[in-house]
Amino acid sequence: MYQEERLLKILTYLNQHRTMSVNDICVHFGISRDTARRDIVRLVQEGVVIRTHGGLALPELKKEISSYQDRLIDESNSKNQIGKQGARLIQDQETLFLDVSTTVQFVAEHISAKEITVVTHSIDNVGILSNREDLQIYVLGGYLHAKHRLLHGSSVIDKISEMHADKAFIGATAIRSDGIYYPFEDDARVKKEMARRSDQVIVVADHTKFSGKSSFKLDFDWVDILITDQDIPDEIREVLDQKNITVIVCQENSQLGEETSNE
């Protein structure tokens, strides 16, 4: 049995019984304790369970990360403006990495550049761009995460490492004075590899991300441009200035927005 199938069965068990011990997992699936512990670590990283002494449980008070569809609705007007601005930076015949992000999805919706190549592991980015006959789409393959609308796994990172892009558009869960944060380690690794393999890295994030918190960091050293919708807190702006990161603040009724750069 593949790990993904086993994890789904563990979650089904938890929905009925609320808790499950390491020994329960071993007996239920006929696996070793080391394998059971790896399954627990994976589910904890996904944010759907909490670790307990001797096993795992469904969170009682812990708020689960919002579904992709719910996040798409939140601040949708701001994200749309950010997406428009981001799409203006794309030139004909470029190759792009498009991250899985509700704000990056708005970038995809507004792309007007011709003969581009899009590399993505986002189901929704593929759906948005699939009716364009003047561009190529390369889908990064892996396991399907239906809730978050993406493909994931080591094969995604392996394939990105073999490619090169002119630009990478990536989202953010939280932005703090020491970097950009994401809830899952694998997600942060994908973004870092996209950044590593791109000539220019563009982060798109609405103002709510500057008051958020998350776990796994991407250093500002990888970022060239940040597009957002409101003024950035002073302590973060100071760091961005030091890193020579161009900041574009979108204004809802503006064609170009406000651009700030030290370059």
CATH code for the domain in which residue 49 is found: 1.10.10.10
Tell whether 152 is covered by a domain. yes
- Whether 160 and 50 share a structural domain: no
Query: Is residue 69 predicted with pLDDT exceeding 70?
Result: no
| High-pLDDT (> 70) share of the chain, % | 88
The model's pLDDT over 199-248, given as tens digits with 9 standing for 90+, comes to 999 999 999 899 888 889 999 999 999 999 999 999 999 999 999 999 99
Please report whether residue 63 resides in a domain.
Answer: no
pLDDT over 90 at 179, yes or no: yes
Domain boundary among 11, 27, 57: 57
* Of the candidates 192, 211, 16, the residue with the CA atom closest to the CA atom of residue 99: 192
Burial 219-254 (b: 16+ CB within 10 A, else e): ebebbbbbbbbeebeeebbebbeeeebbbbbbeeee
Question: pLDDT class for 94, splitting at 50, 70, 90?
Answer: very high
Q: Is residue 254 domain-resident?
A: yes
**Same domain assignment for residues 143 and 251:** yes
- Tokens representing 146? 């239906």
Co-location of 226 and 174 in the same domain = yes
253 pLDDT more than 60: no
146 occurs within a structural domain: yes
* Pick from 249, 246, 248, 247: nearest CA to 229: 249
> Are 26 and 115 in the same domain?
no
pLDDT above 90 covers what percent of the chain? 54
Give the lowest-confidence range in 72-81, 85-94, 126-135.
72-81
- pLDDT at res. 62: 39
Do residue 44 and residue 77 come from a single domain?
Answer: no
List, for residues 17-67, the tens digit of each pLDDT value: 778 899 999 998 999 988 998 888 888 877 778 888 788 887 653 344 444
In a domain, 91, yes or no: yes
Q: Once rounded to an integer, what is the mean pLDDT over residues 111-130? A: 94
Q: Examine the domain organization and report whether 216 and 96 are in the same domain.
A: yes
Question: Is pLDDT larger for residue 95 or for residue 150?
Answer: 95
Instruction: Tell me, yes or no, whether 137 and 24 share the same domain.
Output: no
Give yes or no: residues 34 and 150 share one domain: no
Are residues 107 and 236 located together in one domain of the fold? yes
Token pair, residue 1, equals 């049995």
pLDDT, residue 72, reads 47
Residue 62 lies in a domain: no
Residue reference for tokens 């030290």: 262
Residues 6+ apart with CB under 8 A from 69: none
pTM for the structure as a whole: 0.70
- Given a contact cutoff of 8 angstroms between Cβ atoms, the answer to whether 155 and 137 are in contact is no
**Residues 127, 212 within the same domain:** yes
Looking at residue 132, which CATH number applies to its domain? 3.40.50.1360
Amino acid 155 reads S
Query: For residue range 121-131, what is the model confidence (pLDDT) as tens digits?
Result: 998 899 999 88
Q: Which residue among 12, 36, 57 closes a domain?
A: 57
In a domain, 17, yes or no: yes
Q: Which token pair is 162?
A: 């073999």
Cα distance between residue 35 and residue 91, in whole Å: 47
Residue 163 region by backbone torsions, left for phi larger than 0, else alpha for psi between -120 and 50, else beta: beta
Give me the chain's average pLDDT, please.
86
Total tally of structural domains belonging to the chain: 2
Under a CB-based contact definition with an 8 Å cutoff, are residues 162 and 178 in contact? no
Same domain? For 18 and 127 the reply is no
Structure confidence at residue 70 as a pLDDT band (50, 70, 90): low
CB atoms closer than 10 angstroms to residue 90: 20
Query: Quick one: which H or E segment has residue 201?
Result: strand 198-204
Classify residue 37 as exposed, middle or buried by CB count within 10 Å of its CB (0-12, 13-18, 19+): middle
Domain check: are 50 and 177 in the same one? Answer: no
Q: Which residues form the domain of 9? A: 3-57
